[in-house]
A and B are shown apart, each in its own frame.
Chain A
Amino acid sequence: MQGVKPLSLLQVKQVSLSFNSKKFFIGKDLSKKVLNDISFTIEEGTCLGLIGTSGAGKSTLGRVILGIQRPQQGQVLFQGYDIYNSDKATQHNIRRDLQVVFQDSYSAVNPRMTAERIISEPLENYGKLTKGELRRTVCELLERVGLSEKDLKKYPHQFSGGQLQRINIARAIALKPKLVVLDESVSSLDMVTQSLILELLSELKDDFGLSYLFITHDIKAAFSISDKIGVLEKGELIERYDSKDQFFSSKHPIVKRLRDCILAEHPRFRTLTTGKLG
């Protein structure tokens, strides 16, 4: 890489985490290692796609980064501050710059709040805006994510999944954060909505200079938005690529298998690789 090295926004240093279950009867240790010595960084203005099969520990890693699942070992540094070992005020500020969009858009919002209140909540929480300013900001955000002013007074159940995910995105970017964690954010949406949301996310990334951590099992979705790719398998970050070409030329067996799983455009060219399904 030439020129100035970009500032790293998020540093994950040797994070390990295991879920302990109590020893059952005879002393067999049933603790399960979910994350094993994971380190990576995300630079400002970039998107890291984290792919892996289900159960690989992707979402747990997301929770560790969001500060809701303390790892047993390692550190998570956001803009140089340790998420887990900093005072309350710092944590409060970290959370302002570190927002999240989850997979299930319905369970991420309070079903009894209107779109307006959902989006204005972080703004009220972190800033002092007058009512008029607040309303204007919320309208701008709604329009930015492709909804309109007439959606202000609607409740979550009156939106479709894709629309509600847009509201979640509007809520996440309301505070102009530095990093947005997208935990399977488009996975439950249909193909068309998915590509629209992905498009929106890339636009927002350029407009606001956002960085993303894009957690997904969907390799195609990850490619369409990410600058870099990390592959997580059984709690280990097995490969990291700075470009998509590297991913395709990788010799790693697990990566090969993942790669093979991408369906060809036409069914005739699809092959079953494991043979177990047929």
Chain B
Amino acid sequence: MGSYVLKRIMTIVPIFLIATLLTFGMINLSPVDPAEAYFSAAHIQATDEMLEQKRHEFGLDQPLLIQYVNALIKICQLDFGISYVTNQPVWEEISSRIPATIQLTLGSLLIAILVSVPLGFLAGIKKNSGIDHFSRFLSFIGASIPSFWLGYLFIFFFSVKLDLFPVEGTGTWRHLILPSVTLAFPLIALYTRLLRTSVLENSQESYVLFARTRGIHEKIIMGKHVLRIAISPMITGLGMNLGNLMTGAIIVEAVFSWPGFGRYFIEAIFNRDVPVIQGYVVLAAGVFLISNLIVDLIQMYLDPRISRKGRQYQ
């Protein structure tokens, strides 16, 4: 088990290297000249001399391999360079936005889990009951309403009409509720359906039927045999979504003026702010790698077969 964990953690290193290499390669392949981008971001009409000097300063006149190694060393020191637009170190800009992003991510995940786990579970156990129909309805709505519209609807009803929550900004937990719910809505739809399906599937396993014939209490059957296994596709989904939420709740952030990552990076792309883009991609890769690692470790705990070697049946 320990060796599996270690092995799994070690796989992060090559994947991360490949991610940085791809980022580096794509930025070099793109027609954007960082020196030009730098001056245009600062609204300076640059002469050839100035461009040449900037290129030298950025190390662009060095061989690609050396440029890459230098970039890599800097990344490892969390040094992503200095933003062309704000002239602030990119890492500082990013880290100042991390708390807001994490708040929103965790808030929406929490809401998504709290709603979809009981709902999906009950819908799966009581197939075609009222609660099943309700969950289907909710999933349908959740999957089809675009989040910008949902966000404005929430603002209109809960902030403007009922004055329950603030319209925008951050600070208290009341600021967090509307954006989190908006962001959680499609997730609730997805997870409820996922869980319902896998609960249905698992409760038809023969060992579940056999457990009933052996007189095992229904609570134990549902808890140990059905839910524990049924939850695992949902956890996989959660890992994928965790990455997405951390790196790009752009629309919801825009609707609620939430000071998170998403908007910052969109702006960077329009400004051709190369260091920020590079920092973002590397960071996104890191977030995805780590969230998938966490998912794998949870899966391993839930399904010990993953880490065990042995005869494989079927």
Is B311 in contact with A125, judged by CB distance below 8 angstroms? no
Is A157 in contact with B312, judged by CB distance below 8 angstroms? yes
Given the known inter-chain contacts A95-B213, A122-B214, A125-B215, please indicate yes or no for A108 contacting B207, CB distance below 8 A: yes
Q: Which residues of A contact B215 (CB under 8 A)?
A: 91-92, 94-96, 122, 125-126
Is A110 in contact with B225, judged by CB distance below 8 angstroms? yes
Residue from B210, B302, B313 in contact with A100 in the complex, judged by beta carbons closer than 8 Å:
B210
Is B216 in contact with A112, judged by CB distance below 8 angstroms? no
B308 close to A (CB within 8 Å): yes
Q: Which residues of B contact A212 (CB under 8 A)?
A: none
Q: Can you list, as one digit per residue, whether each of B270-314 has a CB less than 8 Å from chain A (1) or not (0)?
A: 000000000000000000000000000000001111001011111
Q: Which residues of B contact A107 (CB under 8 A)?
A: 205-207
Number of A-B contacts (CB under 8 A): 71
State how many angstroms separate the Cβ of B312 from the closest Cβ of chain A.
6
State how many angstroms separate the Cβ of A83 from the closest Cβ of chain B.
11
B43 close to A (CB within 8 Å): no
State how many angstroms separate the Cβ of A63 from the closest Cβ of chain B.
8
Alpha-carbon distance A67/B225, docked complex (angstroms): 20
Q: Which residues of B contact A155 (CB under 8 A)?
A: 304-305, 308, 310
Alpha-carbon distance A99/B214, docked complex (angstroms): 6
Is A158 in contact with B210, judged by CB distance below 8 angstroms? no
Is B205 in contact with A95, judged by CB distance below 8 angstroms? no
Is B216 in contact with A122, judged by CB distance below 8 angstroms? yes
A102 close to B (CB within 8 Å): yes
Q: Which residues of A contact B229 (CB under 8 A)?
A: 110, 112
Chain B, 133-171, CB within 8 A of any chain A CB: none
A104 close to B (CB within 8 Å): yes
A121 close to B (CB within 8 Å): yes
B12 close to A (CB within 8 Å): no
Alpha-carbon distance A197/B210, docked complex (angstroms): 21
A156 close to B (CB within 8 Å): yes
State how many angstroms separate the Cβ of B223 from the closest Cβ of chain A.
12
A109 close to B (CB within 8 Å): yes
Chain A residue with minimal CB distance to B215? A95
A246 close to B (CB within 8 Å): no
Chain B residue with minimal CB distance to A93? B215
Chain B, 208-255, CB within 8 A of any chain A CB: 209-217, 220, 224-225, 228-229
A68 close to B (CB within 8 Å): yes
Chain A, 106-143, CB within 8 A of any chain B CB: 106-114, 121-122, 125-126
Given the known inter-chain contacts A112-B305, A160-B311, please indicate yes or no for A102 contacting B210, CB distance below 8 A: yes
A255 close to B (CB within 8 Å): no
Residue from A91, A112, A172 in contact with B228 in the complex, judged by beta carbons closer than 8 Å:
A112
Alpha-carbon distance A263/B270, docked complex (angstroms): 83
State how many angstroms separate the Cβ of A176 from the closest Cβ of chain B.
14
The total of chain B residues at the interface (CB under 8 A) is 27
Q: Which residues of B contact A104 (CB under 8 A)?
A: 206
State how many angstroms separate the Cβ of A145 from the closest Cβ of chain B.
17
A48 close to B (CB within 8 Å): no
Q: Which residues of B contact A157 (CB under 8 A)?
A: 305, 310-313
A186 close to B (CB within 8 Å): no
Is A121 in contact with B216, judged by CB distance below 8 angstroms? yes
Residue from A91, A106, A125 in contact with B216 in the complex, judged by beta carbons closer than 8 Å:
A125
State how many angstroms separate the Cβ of B235 from the closest Cβ of chain A.
14
A66 close to B (CB within 8 Å): yes
Q: A: which residues have CB within 8 A of B? A: 66-68, 91-92, 94-96, 99-100, 102, 104, 106-114, 121-122, 125-126, 154-160, 171-172
8 shortest A-B CB distances, which residue pairs?
A: A95-B215, A158-B310, A107-B206, A157-B313, A66-B213, A125-B216, A110-B207, A108-B210
**Known interface pairs A110-B207, A112-B302, A156-B313; 6 further A-B residue pairs with C-beta atoms within 8 A, sorted by A's residue number:** A95-B213, A96-B215, A102-B210, A106-B314, A112-B229, A157-B305
23 A/B residue pairs, CB under 8 Å, sorted by A: A66-B213, A68-B212, A68-B213, A94-B215, A95-B215, A99-B214, A100-B213, A104-B206, A107-B206, A109-B207, A110-B225, A112-B305, A114-B304, A121-B211, A121-B216, A122-B215, A125-B215, A125-B220, A154-B310, A155-B304, A157-B311, A158-B308, A158-B310
